[in-house]
Structure formats: C-alpha cells, structure tokens
Amino acid sequence: MSRLHLYAAACAVSLTPAIAAAESAAKAPAPVTTVVQSAPGKKVTTVHVLAPITVMDWPDQNSENPSVRVNTPLTILSFDKEQVPPLPKPEALLTNPFGWNKWLRDRGIALMMDNTNEYTGAITKPTPGYGLRQGSSNAGQYSLENDIDWEKLAGIRGFSTHAVVVGRYGIPASRMFGDNLNPSSEIYGAGGNVVVHLVYAYGEETLGNGHFDVAAGRIPFLNDFSANPLYCNFQNNAFCGNPKASSDNTTHSSYPDAVWAARIRVRPTKSTYIQTGVYFAQAGIYNNVQYRTGFKFNGADINGQAVPVEAGWEPLFGKDHLPGHYKIGYAIDNAPHKDNYYDVNGNPFVITGLPQRTVNYSWAAWALVDQMVLRHHTPGNPDAGLIVLAGFYANSPRTQTRAQQYEIGFVDSGFWKARPLDGIGVNFTYVRVAGSVSDTQRLQLARGMSLMNGSYGIQNYGEVLEANYRIHVMRGVTFAPDFQYYFRPGGQAALHDAAMLGFKSHIQFF
C-alpha cells in the first residue's frame, strides 16, 4: 500500500494549485439592490443582498444521492443548523401515505422505493453468417433506499447512514446483434438473480458545514468517482451510470455491487473539492459465489486495493448563476490482472499456449465536464436549462479492453413552457479498444481460434449515438422514448451498423 499512497498523495499535491487558480476565476453571486420605504415621505433605506442562486437539485430516482452530493457545491446547500446534509427527497407518486412518510422524515429517516424499466429492440437486421438475430428485450430494477440522519434521530453530530437493496431482471437486446462494449440497457445484471440484493451500506460523517466528509463501509467505487447524476438521463450503459470504460477495471466496483472501502472528501472552498479513498478489490466481483445476495461480508477474496483521487470545480457563472462541474481524476490499483497480449515469458500467449502474464498494477484517468449554457426561467422548473456535457476516460491498455472513451452531448429540460418538466437528451460516445486486444484477436483469427471477449471480429473502435425525449407523465412518473444507433457494434468492422428503438420508464413510489 505504500506505493499506492505515494501516488495518490502526489496526485493530490499536483492538482491543488490548479484548483486554487480556477476558484479565483469563479464569479460570486452579483448583489441585488432592494429599496425599502416604510411609509410615504419617510426615510428610504437601500439594502444590498446576494441574488438567489439555484435550488438544491434533488435526485430524481433512488441511488443517485451519492453523485448528487459530489455535484452540489456548498454555495447552494443548506444544512439547516445541522452538520448532516439534507436527506434525498425525489418527487414521488405517494407523497405521504397514511402520514408515515412525514412522521419518519421529521425524525431523520427517509425511505424511498422506485422501479426503473428499460426496453430496447433492434429495427435493423443483424450481420448474417454469425448466428446473430434481430430481437428485443426488457430489463429493469426495483429498489428500496434508506437514509438516516442520526443527528436528528439520536443527536450524533454529523453522522448519517445509507443503504440500498435491489432486485433486477432482464438483459440488453444489443447482445443479439453482437455488441459486447456498450449494452443498450444499463439496468441489468450483477444483481444475483435474487429478490433482494444489497447494493451498498455505509456510514458517513460530515463536519464543518460540508467542508469535511468521510464515509466507510460497503461502498461501490463509482458511487462518488467519475460520477454525475446527469448521466442517467440516458439508457445506454456507455453513459449511465458512469462512462462504461470506468468499470472496465473490476477493482473499480460498480453499482449494484460494493466492496469494503473508506472515502474522504474535503472542500477547501465552497465550489471546489478533492476526494480520495481506499477500495479493497475482490476477485470474482459481479459473480454469484461472493456476490449473489450482496450480504456476504467476508474478505476471503480480497486481492488488492484501488486508490482514486479526484478534484472538482463547481462554479456558478454569470447573472443567471449557470452551474458547471469540472472534474479530473486518477486511480491506481495493485490487484492481479491478466495481460492482454503477453504470456509469462513475455511472448504472445496465443502463439505459445502458455498462461497470460499477471500484471499486479493498473491505472485509469478521467476528465469530465458539464456546464449549463442557457437558463430557461421556466415556471415550475427552477433547474430548467440547456446543459452540455463531455468526458474522456483512459485505461491501461495492458490490462483493460477499453483503452479510451470519449463522449459529448447535451441535456435540455424545461425548454417547452407548456411541459416544464419534460426534457430532451442527445449523447455520442467513441470507444477505442486497446491495441493489445486487437493484436491478440488478430493472432487468434489467423489460427482459427475463438476470439478474446467473445467477439465475432477484430475489435478496434465503436461508436454509439443516443437520443431521447423524457416525458413527465405525472408526479413521480417519467417515460422516455429512446433511439440508439451503433456504428461498428462491439468495435467490430465485421458487423453491420445497427439501430434500436425503445423506452426508459421510472416510477418513484415514495
């Protein structure tokens, strides 16, 4: 662990000057002049106050609270004389059934239940000759979330706990036409095929009105790092819930599976943060032996540690206080990984037939941006506006399939005043497969062998375009017709492009 910590410390030190310089460039809210006159002919008083900024952007579905917290600067967060930040409160179908919801929340207990369902179907025929087919599939998840403010419940200053359980069903239809890089439905798999699967359970201590925050327990790596609640406006797994390249390394545990971990976040100023942590990687994550229910807490298969560092700047620009989020990060781990090309003696393993070389080190780096560029001032939606987003993710090409991922898109909500809570989203991603994977597949193809990753041809790069329209049906219910287009499915030139139609629905019960 010593080398890992040295790398993490070096990253933190190198990032600090850049954050400080960026912070000085941010504009404070402009003052508003208010004239107060008590009565005709009496003295006039001029008062200078800060203009109101944006409201708290509550998560709109379960499990988004961790990424919302990362993306919420202290300038817009009210602690209401407590140290524990406000509990998540998404818009729900049942606001206060039988009065129990208010009764619990008054005591610091939040219970939320929802369902997310995603359907996709191919509208193009698959490439002939590979046994592929044109089809459709449905995938979904129901979840129950519990967040407790122990400061309100029991007087424990700054302490809160968070837990989520889910049940999952279905598979993505994109597998049917040969894609193995960007699943068309993100809400599938790794749930153990059981009624109740534990996603995470951890405690969190927040002090200094949000300037200091530490968490420990069973936590997914990607809850807090390279995360953004905007991503799940989309359905394809390339975008939601994190850039897909982020979970290519299994030491970067991803929802709905967690590992033993500790994470610390410090906010030097109200619009900057730096965070790091230690995540104890476990062999066989996403498999049923240890993770079927998520309630098996032993560390029998811990095989290394991952240490991420991320720094962010979250400014508010201009008179409309347009929010932005700019974050860069780096992660290293010392878990064993299989080399994509070489054997134990440094020769191509496809040629020698010897076992792949074990690499006890891997890395990843990312830079993510989103910025509101236009606020609509739509009545009924204080967060209405056009937001552009972009991202870059890089992995070690020696150990991971996705060497790089680039994405760019936008989300626009409240642009139609007659439908203030509707929104439209378009996103595009480019995924570059590691050259060592392509080289190995080239050797396998020449020898008539099955290809790495179960591919049908040599993988180089692939692209996905997604567009949807999110309809706010009623309180707590959304329905989003969705279109996806795959250029080179699975990064394979051997496969024809494919198009899909579908929808994503969400019901927040309470």
Fill in the DSSP letter of residue 93: S
Three-state DSSP at 149 gives strand
**Residue whose C-alpha is closest to residue 383's, from 60, 51, 12, 165:** 60
Report pLDDT for 96: 92
Determine the Cα–Cα distance for residues 456 and 479; give it in Å rounded to an integer.
35
Within 122-220, residue ranges assigned H as helices are 150-154
Confidence tier at 299 by pLDDT (50, 70, 90):
confident
Report pLDDT for 58: 53
35-39, 169-173, 262-266, 333-337: lowest mean pLDDT where? 35-39
pLDDT at residue 51 is higher than 50? no
Within 160-266, residue ranges assigned H as helices are none
Report pLDDT for 293: 92
As a whole number of Å, the end-to-end CA separation of the chain is 43
The total domain count for the chain is 1
Confidence tier at 193 by pLDDT (50, 70, 90):
confident
Determine the Cα–Cα distance for residues 84 and 64; give it in Å rounded to an integer.
17
82-96, 147-161, 427-441: lowest mean pLDDT where? 82-96
**Residue whose C-alpha is closest to residue 395's, from 359, 366, 364, 438:** 364
Determine the Cα–Cα distance for residues 183 and 167; give it in Å rounded to an integer.
19
Q: DSSP string of 332-375?
A: EE-S-EEEEEEETTSSBHHHH-PPEEEE--EEEEEEEEEEEEEE
Determine the Cα–Cα distance for residues 136 and 115; give it in Å rounded to an integer.
20
Report pLDDT for 20: 41
pLDDT for 9-46, tens place per residue?
444 434 444 434 433 433 434 333 333 333 444 433 33
pLDDT for 452-489, tens place per residue?
999 999 999 999 999 999 999 999 999 999 999 999 99
Residue 323 domain boundaries: 2-508
Determine the Cα–Cα distance for residues 252 and 258; give it in Å rounded to an integer.
9
pLDDT at residue 345 is higher than 90? yes
Within 261-325, residue ranges assigned H as helices are 288-291
Mean of pLDDT over the chain:
89
Determine the Cα–Cα distance for residues 456 and 458; give it in Å rounded to an integer.
7
Confidence tier at 59 by pLDDT (50, 70, 90):
low
**CATH assignment at residue 438:** 2.40.160.180
Report pLDDT for 397: 97
How large is the average pLDDT for residues 369-381? Answer: 96
Determine the Cα–Cα distance for residues 244 and 434; give it in Å rounded to an integer.
14
Q: Whole-model pTM above 0.95? A: no
**Residue whose C-alpha is closest to residue 67's, from 88, 81, 91:** 88
pLDDT for 74-121, tens place per residue?
988 888 789 999 999 999 999 999 999 999 999 999 999 999 999 999
Determine the Cα–Cα distance for residues 90 and 295; give it in Å rounded to an integer.
27
pLDDT at residue 388 is higher than 50? yes
Confidence tier at 508 by pLDDT (50, 70, 90):
very high
Determine the Cα–Cα distance for residues 88 and 110; give it in Å rounded to an integer.
8
For the chain, count helices (H), then strands (E): 7, 21
Question: Residues with Cβ < 8 Å from 445, sequence gap 6 or more?
Answer: 451, 457, 458
Amino acid at 462: G
pLDDT at residue 48 is higher than 80? no
Question: Residues with Cβ < 8 Å from 472, sequence gap 6 or more?
Answer: 419, 421, 422, 478
